[in-house]
Structure 1
């Protein structure tokens, strides 16, 4: 089942994580021995088979957008496969292939138009034997470990056996197979910070929305705000009835109000009254106007006494969702681009926000896929991490589950509990060891109060940042450079 295109089976909602190293191993075996041009085609086709189902959630925006995105992203895999065909001629090529895979994922997350880091192999390992590597080198090291394990399995399969007896063949395969097994086992030795004994009670509200697809708010955006205000009041009533512990803070999702409370008195009053009812500082997800032409996706601290205060504006915006790249050209060619409406502008500071007794780390939806954004928020003092998200457009697709797996990996990477508040699901609480302790179903209104550990100790991954990723990319570049040099040398010698 874990054939070349079966890599996507490792990703949620299926989450069969062993398919990641097995699928990568079969990809390597299919590329081994191919010339660079043929390898590029094989890599492109293999990427199509993987990304078409893995990114199926994009279909909600449009079949054309989905296929265009897959087609562009597959080019990165084709380039990586062509380079892999060269490094397969070097000794210890499983190491160089795994480093190449990390370099490819890095480039995908950088270009074009801000990159698209979705479907990185690390994000299939939200809770697996490879997950502990996140605390040592973040998502890049997890991807490297999975790719190394898979390439070692392939090495055992494709290693030359001509003229060898069966016993010799088995002995030659035993070493790479043992090393492949050792890779995930060594992850268990990664040092992890311990509990610090401090906790905070966090209320989580999932209010749900009336619309579906691109029309997620239906004809009445005020209903979305009312749903989340009502969810906040239900927490307050449950506390009074003794059914829930009193929260220290409450978290609402991204877009819990699509009506600007700074400009609309009714929206302000609805939010303020519900927060006064629950009686604790609340993080509101609001879309607010910036001047007359722009807007911001904002995490807004709202105090029951003093009202709105500090805020964080989303830094990584969704292209064609929150802003339109190459506006003039895109608007001329594509009618649906107008659905973006007023263009969003990004924030320029990390999401550390004082909320009641803690400084939370605010992360907005799409941003959880970006290493630097999450790391910057943790380094600024954010704990616990709070992911406000609006997945209503993609409800019942594979996106909400994939995003939850990212939160699991981030929890381990940074030794932080992660609280996710979503409009329609999946809202969740992830412990610092990556375990989902509570989660909602999709398309229902729900709320609860969870007791969350407050961790301040940083992991090695948080402290060293992108250093492991850059080291692996230098390895990959050096391996390709040596392989190209040797190929040219051999060609010259052949001509002589």
Structure 2
């Protein structure tokens, strides 16, 4: 038998066979790892916003690594699924706020399958030398798959999005969310491996120096790398500054039925803009160079409804600055979730159509199948939104403002596309009124903070009902509103044009980690096959 094959088989030979275990002991040996996997998933959830307990992700992955190591791939599938449920069930509960538990449970059930497959992969590579590296790469490969399929993917819950307050955040500027997430997972698995090496060394009296050194490096390298990456984070204004105003007009009431009062939402945002104009005239706040309204701030199409256009025009003239208006526009029989650049003198001068539309929210996949099962399931999205094709960058009073509308903030490519197209700052107009006071708003706000560091850009987050915010390029929030209040934020922000390594490299770091995961799985799989052949021989 080869040395590699011996190493691969070793964990399965550790269990003593001399003394049969009682039924209760056998049951406990099955339940304890299952409970540990589920509870470590819950611990990972607790590390996410609105809490600032980012560091809990490390023990969460340490316990998850313990529960998986040395298991069969079938057992690891189940343990991974339990971990996924423990993490995603509470994280995504907001998806059922207005529509009931059905969609929430269905989404979690599907997304947890990815985590189950990742669990099986991790238990396989956990038998390799320096296994935390391979295991962390497998996790990121799972996130990459989850961000792309089905129906365009669902990146919500990426490990990077829970690290907006953490020491690892500067790594977002190095390689984006994949590198940031990889560092956190690697450190967590490395933490478990350090403990395991210490315990084994005390038990046997022999310390395997190579394995112990690899474990220590798994913890130390991510931390040192994050500290070194802080040099990439800067708030320095490279292209001057701009005074930006963020408008939060509020909505008549929370929930899906806010759409039934679309005119009220438009009036609220126009009113708050006019209130801000009065403050500017009184000298209480600075004159903004441009104004940012949220997504769905005018669900009445201003290109077809003259009264809606008049309301927007009145607000723009009152503030004396161009406004980016979030509208729902019908063109050539198609619906678009559109940002409209409205000049106080020229009217609508530019548009951006949302490119990553939300499945089951803005379009309905498998419409005919769902309608055949239950006609009521198709009534929530009566007409599908169409996708835009070009990155959104508005030139507003000389400033290039990149636009990533709401759901798009979760997708690496959607935000990066605005920066590579010349954006000097980024705006994430959103409408979270549907989700009431759930954690969704804070999870999305954390994404925007990560994006600020990733691309070294100021990020503004105008939201219909809150929380709206202004975020500096270092990820710090300098101003924010409450929820379900009418408010405005005015601030002078730095404009930047340099690109971080993450912006320049784009998808490359993620692909390297996916290839690393594939290499680890191939190595481990080949070793298992060889071991079985040698055993049979």
TM-score, length of structure 2 as denominator length: 0.89
Is 2:219 aligned against 1:180? yes
Q: Which residue of 2 aligns with 1:201?
A: 243
Name the CA distance, whole Å, in 2 between partners of 1:27 and 1:229.
50
Is 2:290 aligned against 1:252? no
Structure 2, unaligned runs of 5 or more? 1-35
Is 2:59 aligned against 1:22? yes
Q: 1:173 to 1:5 in 2, by over 3 A?
A: farther
Equivalent positions of 1:235-384 (< 5 A) are 235-292=276-333, 294-334=334-374, 335-384=376-425
Q: Which residue of 2 aligns with 1:104?
A: 142
Q: Is the 8 A contact 1:29 1:157 kept in 2?
A: no
What is the CA deviation profile of residues 421-474 of structure 1, one whole-angstrom value per residue up to 9, with x for unaligned ones?
000011000000000111111111111211111011110100011111100100
Q: Is the 8 A contact 2:201 2:207 kept in 1?
A: no
Name the CA distance, whole Å, in 2 between partners of 1:193 and 1:39.
39
Structure 1, unaligned runs of 5 or more? none
What is the CA deviation profile of residues 282-337 of structure 1, one whole-angstrom value per residue up to 9, with x for unaligned ones?
10001101223x21001110000000011110000011111111111122324133
What is the CA deviation profile of residues 192-228 of structure 1, one whole-angstrom value per residue up to 9, with x for unaligned ones?
16413511000110001113222123x4211000000
Is 2:228 aligned against 1:189? yes
What is the CA deviation profile of residues 320-377 of structure 1, one whole-angstrom value per residue up to 9, with x for unaligned ones?
1111111111223241331212221000000111111201001100000000111111
- Deviating above 2 A after TM superposition, structure 1's stretches of 4 or more consecutive aligned residues are 1-5, 157-179, 331-334
Question: Secondary structure at 1:220's aligned position in 2?
Answer: helix
Name the CA distance, whole Å, in 1 between partners of 2:46 and 2:52.
6
| CA shift for structure 1 position 162 | 5.2
Aligned length: 494
Is 2:77 aligned against 1:40? yes
Name the CA distance, whole Å, in 1 between partners of 2:276 and 2:377.
39
Question: Secondary structure at 1:205's aligned position in 2?
Answer: strand
| CA shift for structure 1 position 161 | 5.0
Question: Secondary structure at 1:389's aligned position in 2?
Answer: coil
| CA shift for structure 1 position 173 | 5.8
Q: 1:492 to 1:283 in 2, by over 3 A?
A: same
Q: Is the 8 A contact 1:24 1:150 kept in 2?
A: yes
Q: Which residue of 2 aligns with 1:212?
A: 254
Structure of larger gyration radius: 2
Is 2:173 aligned against 1:131? no
| CA shift for structure 1 position 183 | 1.7
Name the CA distance, whole Å, in 2 between partners of 1:403 and 1:59.
17
Q: Is the 8 A contact 1:428 1:436 kept in 2?
A: yes
Q: Which residue of 2 aligns with 1:69?
A: 107
Is 2:267 aligned against 1:226? yes
RMSD: 1.8
Name the CA distance, whole Å, in 2 between partners of 1:253 and 1:163.
58
Question: Secondary structure at 1:422's aligned position in 2?
Answer: coil
Q: Which residue of 2 aligns with 1:420?
A: 461
Q: Is the 8 A contact 1:395 1:425 kept in 2?
A: no
Q: Is the 8 A contact 2:133 2:218 kept in 1?
A: no
Q: Which residue of 1 aligns with 2:120?
A: 82
TM-score, length of structure 1 as denominator length: 0.96
| CA shift for structure 1 position 128 | 1.2
Name the CA distance, whole Å, in 1 between partners of 2:46 and 2:225.
24
Is 2:62 aligned against 1:12? no
